[in-house]
Amino acid sequence: MKRKIMSAREALAHIKPGASIMIGGFLQSGSPDHLIRALVRHGAGGLCIISSDSGNEHTAGPELMGSGLVKKIINSYIGCNPVTVELIRQGRIESDVYPMGTFVEKIRAGGCGLGAVITGVGIDTVYAEGKPTIELSGKTYLIEMPLKADVALVHGAVADERGNLALRGTAHNYTLWMAMAAEHVVAEVDEIVPVGALDPETVDVPGILVDALVKAGDAA
């Protein structure tokens, strides 16, 4: 079986300029900061970042957004990252905004093989302008398209050597869905245990989705 444990540098080495990168986490909860810093060091630019909020002061989000490597952010609410707020205000990066429930469903649809998300959220607002709609059972819905990415960077509490991830508390958020929707998935974890040490009841992300495992805090 292919060895998944590696350094952050190795895990991100193949990322090309212009890549689309999903980053897990809701603010600081489940934020893969070790990997985000390694992404900045890797230096590929023109990136499209897919992140609910681009982090806050407790994460490596401001460092990434301020690095000059990001061209666009697909997000739901970035008000907690002042670097992102200012970049958008100055028109220096593009921003695609979605209602949070739509944001996660687009990613889920991307990873789960669905053709579209049909949701009434945002109807009758400026957000809906220009978007395709469909009427079903007398109600109008927006048609939102699935979202996939080249890379996902996620955080887990514990992984086994197969890449099965156990998540904790509010760190679940987008992690599983991003792991499904991205081609190359890198997980940073606080602890790596042998296969068999993780109770299947506690596994939140199947290891088949995870391509690289990085121990958080290890030298890059």
Partner 1 sequence: MNKKELIASHIARLLQDGEVVNLGIGIPTLVPRFVPGGVDILLHSDNGILGIGPEPEPDGRTRDLIDAGGEYCTALPGAVFLDSATDFGLIRGGHLDVAVLGALEVDQYGGIASWDIPGVRSHGIGGSMDLCAGAKRVIVGMTHCNRDGASKVRRRCRLPLTAKSAVKTIVTDLCVMQVEAPRLVVTCLMPGVTREMVTMATEADIEFRI
As given in the structure block, the two tokens for residue 31 are 């934020």
Q: Check residue 171 for interaction with partner 1 (CB under 8 A).
A: yes
Our finding on whether 133 is near partner 1 (CB under 8 A) is no
* In the complex, minimum distance from the CB of residue 13 to partner 1, in angstroms, rounded to a whole number: 27
Q: Strand, coil or helix: what is 70? A: strand
Among 71, 77, 150, 215, binds partner 1 (CB under 8 A): 77
Q: What is the dihedral of CA 205, 211, 212, 213, to 10 degrees?
A: 20
* Structural contact between residues 164 and 29, judged by C-beta atoms closer than 8 angstroms: no
Per CB under 8 A, does 116 bind partner 1? no
Judged by CB under 8 A, the residue of 47, 88, 158, 179 near partner 1 is 88
Answer for which of 4, 12, 15, 26 binds partner 1 (CB under 8 A) is 26
172: its two tokens: 């679940």
**CA angle at 90 for the pair 86 and 96, rounded to the nearest 5°:** 80
Nearest to 145 by CA among 96, 99, 105, 100: 105
Among 20, 51, 56, 67, binds partner 1 (CB under 8 A): 56
187 binds partner 1, rule: CB under 8 A: no
- Strand 117-119 relative to strand 94-97: parallel, antiparallel, unpaired? unpaired
Of the pair 42, 172, the CB lying nearest partner 1 is at 172
The SS3 of residue 111 is helix
Q: Which is nearer to partner 1, 91 or 194 (CB)?
A: 91
In the complex, the smallest distance separating the C-beta of residue 39 from partner 1, rounded to whole angstroms, is: 19
Kindly tell me which residue out of 39, 64, 80, 87 binds partner 1, with binding defined by CB under 8 A: 80
Using CA atoms, how far apart are residues 77 and 111, in angstroms rounded to an integer? 22
**Site of interaction with partner 1 (CB under 8 A):** 26-31, 52-53, 56, 58, 75-80, 85, 88-89, 95, 97-102, 104-105, 108, 119-127, 157, 168-177, 204
